Amino acid sequence: MVQAQRDSAFVQFERVQKSYDGQTLVVKDLNLTVPKGEFLTMLGPSGSGKTTTLMMLAGFETATHGQIRLNGRNINDVPPHKRGIGMVFQNYALFPHMSVAENLAFPLDVRSLGKAEKEQKVKRALDMVQMGQFANRRPGQLSGGQQQRIALARALVFEPELVLMDEPLGALDKQLREHMQFEIKHIADSLGITVVYVTHDQTEALTMSDRVAVFNDGVIQQLAPPDELYEAPMNSFVARFIGENNTMTGVVTALDGSRCVVRLDSGDEIDAKPVNVAKVGERTKVSIRPERVETNKARLRPGAHTLTARVEEFIYMGDMFRTRLSVAGNSNFIMKTRNAPDQVRLEPGAEIEIGWLPEDCRALDAA
Amino acid sequence: MALPVYASTGQRVWHYAFRVICGLIFFYLIAPILVIIPLSFNAQDFFTFTPEMLHLDPAGYSLKHYHDFFNNIDWQLPLWNSLKIAPMATLIAVALGTLAAVGLSQSHVPFKGAIMAILISPMIVPLIISAAGMYFFYSRIGLQGTYWGVVLAHAALGIPFVIITVTATLVGFDKSLTRAASSLGAGPLRTFWKVQMPLILPGVVSGALFAFITSFDEVVVVLFMGAAGQKTLPWQMFTGLREQISPTILAAAVVLIAVSIFMLAALEMIRRRNERLRGLTPA
């Protein structure tokens, strides 16, 4: 089992720690295994340790403790220029004094490739990012999106098996960013390369990744595929960080395997799914997605608990309606409903009954 | 800077007064240099404008001082000495100064402030004190009165200029470029020559220019360090003024001015080229 895991591990962090000042750990006891060909995203707020982890993999920071392995080989003592890892930087880091073609030829010159082979590879890489006609431009003559493509082509032109990306789309506008997300994903899939991607944008992480590692406080909070991360957050940090969430605090009053009853601080009782609560009497924070709040009693199970809610605000968002409710003392409870023909537009001040399927409401740690 | 239509009387007065003051300052700075140029074509052996010169009579002008400068062994020897000493001193100052600046720009170097202060000190300590100190030190190790003695002394004077100009360009240097080069497989040496050096070149060149001029114009240190065999152009001008009062010194001065203007123009062209590169650099 352990042997099999070793074999499928392309990138492996084993008990890695990092401290800059010798006192506080920026990365605490990191264990992470990335199989070959995976698109792994490290997501987290700034200062969560995700960029430090990436920099340790690239070789620009050294691990204070632990081992980093690439393809089974310990790379702790290998300098960055001998790791053969492609990297796309946040500010692109194109060489301003070289043309686009010279930028792309740089890693090939280092590897002493012949002229014909070099030109062919540069051309192929430029065509891949649809920048073939810009070979003779300087980076400064290109727009941000074009520079981003060149940076991507430069990181791929020497055919590395592993490519690291440090918030590469951070400086682009929304539309271009969304377009590039798909393009990067498609290129990575078609080349079969392993990608470790760092971002603080959760939509980006969910759209692009095979798996997402959510970082906070130097620790991976949850490592899971996007759907699992969104629908089954394992703790209240992940629930808060990924997507929109309504949270309410209370005490577990009944616990029965996959279901529990939580008495909220307001005294109301609700149904929930116990995720990391262990016993009756424990304090918990329940989390429910705005789009899983149900107003139609016919869709709830018989005997389900419901809550009375007062409509505070109704916002028309085109494809969705967003309703702000006052529920059990929380005046910031959001409900999202699809703009369907049978959907009522609620008036502020109206009183409604809301409920949910117990598995959509997750009872998490009280932190 | 045109005067806006709503300017008050006081602002109008100041607007023109400001221009007059600027003009006076430029005149004060440039006039002594400009006066030397026509004087150097004087047909007489005087340091004054003759009546013929003032009447723009061609007979009042001649190239005889230039002829003397370029043929008299008293001037040719110092000229060649200067041309041998200054480039070598510049080369050493640029190599060491650039390395020092690059090293001091790294974040992990301890005692940066102190090291920088020591390296810059030749610029701050009065020249006569440096010269006297070097004289005693170089005498002990047998360098006093030799070509390399003068070169090394001048290099020490030039290094602070190189460090300051290169450090200034390094401030604007994007560190992620060296990381990018490294991720693409380039070792530290290739990264330095192919990525860092081309981008800090303007700082290196202006530092080199200052170091060259420092050596080329220097008279105090060379008087201490040099023997007769290392007599430089400024040294010859100094003694020429004191002992011979030969107007050839005017021709020498004009040649030096021409060299300075040429070098400044070259520097400006490099600076513009770099600004074009940087202006287009992503923010």
For A263-277, write each residue's pLDDT tens digit.
998 888 888 988 888
Report, as ranges of residue numbers, the positions in chain B whose pLDDT lies below 50. 280-283
Q: Are residues A231 and A308 in the same domain?
A: no
Question: Helix %, strand %, coil % for chain A, to 5?
Answer: 30, 35, 35
> Left if phi > 0, otherwise alpha if psi is -120 to 50, otherwise beta: which for B245?
left
pTM of the full predicted structure?
0.80
Least confident of A29-43, A213-227, A346-360, B89-103: A346-360
Q: Are residues A134 and A63 in the same domain?
A: yes
Q: Per this entry, what is the length of chain B? A: 283
Is pLDDT at A214 greater than 90 in this prediction?
Answer: yes
pLDDT of residue B1: 63
Segment A304-322 shows an average pLDDT of: 89
Q: Are residues A51 and A161 in the same domain?
A: yes
The residue segments making up the domain with residue A314 are 244-364
Q: What is the ipTM of this complex?
A: 0.81
Average pLDDT, chain A: 89
Asked whether A158 and A108 are in contact (CB, 8 A), the reply is yes
User: Using CA atoms, how far apart are residues A330 and A367, in angstroms rounded to an integer?
Assistant: 18
Q: For residue A225, give the amino acid letter.
A: P
Nearest CA to CA, how far is A63 from chain B (Å)? 17
Q: Is A230 on the interface with B (CB under 8 A)?
A: no
pLDDT of residue B150: 93
User: Using CA atoms, how far apart are residues A185 and A41, in angstroms rounded to an integer?
Assistant: 12
Q: Which residues of A touch B187 (CB under 8 A)?
A: 81
Give domain limits for chain B. Answer: 9-60, 74-279
pLDDT of residue B164: 95
Is pLDDT at A93 greater than 90 in this prediction?
Answer: yes
Share of chain A above pLDDT 90, in %: 54
Say which of B174, B277, B279 has its CB closest to residue A93: B174
Q: What is the pLDDT of residues A127-155, one digit of tens each?
A: 999 898 999 998 988 998 999 999 999 99
Q: Are residues A158 and A296 in the same domain?
A: no
User: Using CA atoms, how far apart are residues A1 and B223, in angstroms rounded to an integer?
Assistant: 82
Asked whether B65 and B250 are in contact (CB, 8 A), the reply is yes
Q: Domain holding A97: CATH number?
A: 3.40.50.300
Q: Which residues of A touch B186 (CB under 8 A)?
A: 81, 106-107, 110
pLDDT of residue A4: 45
Q: Are residues A155 and A66 in the same domain?
A: yes
User: Using CA atoms, how far apart are residues A59 and A36, in angstroms rounded to an integer?
Assistant: 19
pLDDT of residue A7: 53
Q: Are residues A252 and A285 in the same domain?
A: yes
A113, with CB counted inside 10 A (0-12, 13-18, 19+), is middle
Q: Domain holding A315: CATH number?
A: 2.40.50.140
CATH number listed for the domain at residues B74-279: 1.10.3720.10
Q: Which residues of B touch A97 (CB under 8 A)?
A: 198-199, 277
Comparing CA positions, the residue from A347, A266, A345, A259 lying closest to residue A303 is A259
Nearest CA in chain A to B183: A81
Q: What is the pLDDT of residues B201-250, one digit of tens each?
A: 888 988 999 999 889 888 899 988 888 888 898 898 888 777 777 788 88
Nearest CA in chain A to B185: A81
Q: Is A90 on the interface with B (CB under 8 A)?
A: yes
pLDDT of residue A174: 86
Q: Are residues A256 and A199 in the same domain?
A: no
**Cβ <8 Å between B282 and A85:** no
Say which of A85, A91, A139 has its CB closest to residue B183: A85
Asked whether B195 and A103 are in contact (CB, 8 A), the reply is no
pLDDT of residue B227: 84
Segment A317-322 shows an average pLDDT of: 89
Q: Are residues A110 and A211 in the same domain?
A: yes
Segment A223-248 shows an average pLDDT of: 89
Comparing CA positions, the residue from A70, A361, A39, A40 lying closest to residue A220 is A40
- How many beta-carbon pairs under 8 angstroms link A with B? 84
